[in-house]
Amino acid sequence: MGKLVIVGSVAFDEVETLFGKSGVILGGAGTYIGLAAHHFEVDSSIVSVVGGDFPEEYLKVFSDRKINTDGLKIEKEGKTFFWRGKYHDDLIGRDTLETQLNVMENFQPQVPPTYKDAEVVMLGNLHPSVQLSVLEQMQNPKLVVLDTMNFWMDQNMNELKEVISQIDVITINDEEARQLSGEHSLVKANRVIQEMGPKTVVIKKGEHGALLFQEDQMFFAPALPMEEVFDPTGAGDTFAGGFTGYLAKTNDYSFKSMKKAIIYASNLASFCVEKFGPERLLELSPEEVTNRLKIFKSLTQFNIDLA
């Protein structure tokens, strides 16, 4: 069984969409990544920090799924990272209304000794210096994947570029790819980003699917057309968790394997948007995942004589 180290926020979120307000709920990039990766046979460990206000029932979310939490620090005196956002009525655009870093502000990540030899590292959305520190603690990872967001580009671009120069795969959304590269065309943006370091670039386009670029090769996976999108929070992280979970399970990092990985990733992300926060992922059964994968397959498979 492959080992996966996950770094990312474990948080309290408050989300508002046209369907209403979530109240304070469990969130964080690391949480979504872990919940998605657990659908594969992988031994994952989450490296993050929470405050003394983080409830036991939320810690159980990880232990119930056998996600190792030796690297999840609890700062008894501190407060958990908090993020509040409001979606536009198109359920695509969103405004961050509040980000309280709290315990995340001075977080010194510690990778548990038994996970330093993990093959795959998922550097989820967090301060680039935390991502870098985790990378430095790893012995010889075979695949390093990074996700980030505009918040860190606005505040720590130089440090972020330093991490990006050391990774194999970056997964970002289209807006962030444009911001990072300064190019509007995503094909050009991919080229600029590859020059920064990663030889594989995954650009997430929300309801329009995801693009996979590896050197000169390109592949596209659609998103499942949904009858109703309730809350897109965490879909990108769920995608990243599905992508790395599949690759850590197979230990095959070829382009062919990554093509499969983005289908598995899109499949899992399609569940995430169906309810507020991680609610849908928390109740998701393996049968539901497999059944939807079949729908995905029939959606994308065509056998038409094009010549």
Q: Which residues form the interface with ligand AMP (CB under 6 A)?
A: 9, 11, 13, 27-29, 83, 99, 125-126, 149, 151, 233-237
What is the smallest separation between the CB atom of 72 and ligand AMP, expressed in angstroms?
Answer: 15
Burial of 179 (C-beta count, 10 Å sphere; 0-12/13-18/19+): middle
CB atoms within 10 A of CB 64: 11
Supply 7's token pair. Answer: 């770094």
Q: Are residues 261 and 152 in contact, defined by beta-carbon separation less than 8 angstroms?
A: no
Cβ-based nearer residue to ligand AMP, 87 or 296: 87
What is the smallest separation between the CB atom of 236 and ligand AMP, expressed in angstroms?
Answer: 3
Cβ-based nearer residue to ligand AMP, 24 or 138: 24
What is the smallest separation between the CB atom of 114 and ligand AMP, expressed in angstroms?
Answer: 26
20 — alpha (psi -120 to 50), left (phi > 0) or beta? Answer: left
Residues 252, 256, 262, CA angle at the centre, nearest 5°?
A: 90
Cβ-based nearer residue to ligand AMP, 34 or 234: 234
Query: In angstroms, rounded to a whole number, what is the distance separating the alpha carbons of residues 123 and 157?
Result: 16
What is the smallest separation between the CB atom of 56 and ligand AMP, expressed in angstroms?
Answer: 20
Q: Are residues 190 and 202 in contact, defined by beta-carbon separation less than 8 angstroms?
A: no
What is the smallest separation between the CB atom of 143 and ligand AMP, expressed in angstroms?
Answer: 20
Q: Are residues 255 and 214 in contact, defined by beta-carbon separation less than 8 angstroms?
A: yes
Q: Which residues pair with 80 in a beta bridge?
A: none
Supply 65's token pair. Answer: 């799924």
Cβ-based nearer residue to ligand AMP, 83 or 230: 83
Residue 294: partners with Cβ closer than 8 Å, 6 or more residues away: none
What is the smallest separation between the CB atom of 15 and ligand AMP, expressed in angstroms?
Answer: 8
Cβ-based nearer residue to ligand AMP, 99 or 250: 99
Residue 96: closest CA among 16, 18, 178: 16
Cβ-based nearer residue to ligand AMP, 78 or 234: 234
